[in-house]
Amino acid sequence: MLVETTINGQTYSADVEPRTLLVHYLRDHLGLTGTNVGCDTSSCGACTIHIGGESVKSCTVLAVQARGAEITTIEGMAGDDGTLHPMQQAFMECHGLQCGYCTPGMVMAATSLLSENPNPTEAEVREGLEGNLCRCTGYHNIVKSVMAAAGSPVTIGAGS
Amino acid sequence: MIPAAFDYVEAESVDAAIAALTEHGDEAKLMAGGHSLIPLMKFRLATPGVIVDIGRMEGLNSIDDRGDHIAIGALTRHMSVETSELLGAEAPLLKHVASQVGDPSVRHRGTIGGSLAHGDPASDLPAAILALGATLVAKGPGGEREIAATDFFTGFLETALADDEMLTEIRVPKMAGAGWSYQKFNRRAQDWAIVGVAAVSNGSTSLSLVNMGPTPMRASAAEAAINGGGSIDDAAAAAADGASPPDDLNGDAAYRTHLASVLVRRALTEAQG
């Protein structure tokens, strides 16, 4: 079945089986490999992308369900000139990543969170990112990054 | 993990969905957000021959004030339920319970109708509609019918919906001013409840249980105790009467029986406080 989508402002189309998962459509058919597959069971959030500006786990969406959708992946976050998205910049400055595997999903979930709640408390960030797992357990700095991107820098874990 | 192959049909109206179900019988499954069905398909625990996609259909996604009740379209997403001011005023239990489903990314896609039609005894929303005494509306080739929430869950992942019927609307009685509580006990963020209890106290008290048997269920013995003039302790002692909790890695039946008692106590204390 022909699946046509707008991804990061560009139109893509590919003929795929109905059972093709959106994450495989992105990675295997379109070569957009910035979106990772982690747990493959809707738990870890490594595959988080935006559909219509909202975070979605792309391992739990069929590509055919996304026909005609406006999709953003991690590749679409930086500006055309390579300027990082403020969330990416905050992750870099606050050391919000260790191995980096969860990072694309974290950045996508965090930007969706801020679009719904531009001034979250630290607790709201932790709750808002409950669907994204960091196996390095680097959560303090991830939360710090999101708070910095929201313009409310915090000190987390001092003395712990 | 990749689902087994299936034929894909898109339904652009309820009638088209019913026609597809009528044509394909029990080979077909409706898919709205897919957040209950796709995980099962990836594990090959579900291998439907035909997927009827109703997720892109227009309509059935509004939350309306209908006088004595609130009508919620079956395709309304969890995120819309959890952010609804109308539900916050008239049925705050449901708004809160929707916010406890999965995580925000799941709630952007999953729908209330999909969750209820899936009939998972471990999921949150069935307990809410049982405690609220909601009515579900199903449409089939012969027209529309109403199903009481208490008659809807008939077996493990089975509901009163016929193979050719589609759940279209959930009608929730207004409960402004009523006491309520939802106690969800789990060990990890975003997880299913190991046990959960929903309570609504509005003159009489209704109580429902999550993950205490093959279906979502009312805690009838605990309800009888509290509504018959017993104490919260009496109701808590009867929390698991009639339940058949599962044993799994999270806990055995005895542990769940204990949890149900503790959570009924907390739920009644909050709802009646």
**Phi first, then psi: what are they for B66, rounded to 5°?**
-115, 40
Looking at residue A159, what is its pLDDT? Answer: 45
CATH, residue B169: 3.30.465.10
Interface touch A109/B105, C-beta < 8 Å: yes
Q: Are residues B189 and B251 in the same domain?
A: yes
Q: What is the mean pLDDT of chain B?
A: 97
ipTM: 0.95
Looking at residue B22, what is its pLDDT? Answer: 98
A157 pLDDT band, cuts 50/70/90, is low
Interface touch B190/A112, C-beta < 8 Å: no
Looking at the 3D structure of chain B, how many domains does it have?
A: 3
Please check the confidence at residue B234 and state whether its pLDDT lies above 90.
yes
> What single-letter amino acid sits at A18?
P
Residue B38's nearest CA partner among A6, A18, A25 is A18
d(CA B209, CA B242): 11
Pick from B173, B195, B224: which residue ends a domain?
A: B173
User: Per-residue pLDDT tens for B239-268?
Assistant: 999 999 999 999 999 999 999 999 999 999
Using CB atoms within 10 A of its CB, is residue A91 exposed (0-12), middle (13-18) or buried (19+)?
buried
In the block, tokens 């008239």 appear at B90
Looking at residue B189, what is its pLDDT? Answer: 84
Asked whether residue B125 is domain-assigned, the answer is: yes
> What single-letter amino acid sits at B238?
A
B80 pLDDT band, cuts 50/70/90, is very high
Please check the confidence at residue A152 and state whether its pLDDT lies above 60.
yes
CB contact B51 to A (< 8 Å):
yes
Interval A124-133 mean pLDDT: 97
CATH entry, A2-76, from 3.10.20.30, 3.40.50.300, 3.30.360.10, 3.50.50.60: 3.10.20.30
Q: Quick check: helix, strand or coil at residue B270?
A: helix
Interface touch B189/A1, C-beta < 8 Å: no
CATH architecture of A86-149: Orthogonal Bundle (1.10)
d(CA B89, CA B238): 31
CA distance A127 to chain B (A): 8
In the block, tokens 């996609």 appear at B53
**Token pair recorded at residue A134:** 């960091």
Contact A18, B51 (CB under 8 A): yes
Interface touch A19/B108, C-beta < 8 Å: no
In our burial notation (b when 16+ CB lie closer than 10 A, e otherwise), range A7-27 reads bbeeebeeebebbbbbbbbbb
Interval B129-157 mean pLDDT: 98
Contact B18, B52 (CB under 8 A): no
CA distance A94 to chain B (A): 24
User: Per-residue pLDDT tens for A135-147?
Assistant: 999 999 999 999 9
Q: Are residues B129 and B195 in the same domain?
A: no
User: Per-residue pLDDT tens for A45-85?
Assistant: 999 999 999 999 999 999 999 999 999 999 999 999 999 99
CB contact B12 to A (< 8 Å):
no
Asked whether residue B1 is domain-assigned, the answer is: no
Looking at residue A158, what is its pLDDT? Answer: 53
Q: Are residues B158 and B226 in the same domain?
A: no
Domain limits, CATH 3.10.20.30, in chain A: 2-76
d(CA B265, CA B269): 6
- Nearest-by-Cβ selection for A19 from B3, B35, B56: B3
Contacts of A57 in chain B (CB under 8 A): 105-106, 109
Give the β-pairing of B7-10 and B50-53.
Answer: parallel
Asked whether residue B17 is domain-assigned, the answer is: yes
Interface touch A48/B104, C-beta < 8 Å: no
**pTM for this entry:** 0.96
CB contact A36 to B (< 8 Å):
no
Q: Are residues B119 and B193 in the same domain?
A: no
Give the β-pairing of A10-15 and B28-31.
Answer: unpaired
Looking at residue B108, what is its pLDDT? Answer: 98
User: Per-residue pLDDT tens for B26-48?
Assistant: 999 999 999 999 999 999 999 99
Asked whether residue B243 is domain-assigned, the answer is: yes
Asked whether residue B58 is domain-assigned, the answer is: no
- Nearest-by-Cβ selection for B2 from A21, A61, A64: A21
Residue span of the structural domain in which B266 resides: 179-272
β-strand partners of B209: B197, B217
In the block, tokens 């503790």 appear at B262
Q: At what angle do helices A103-116 and A86-93 cross, to 10 degrees?
A: 120
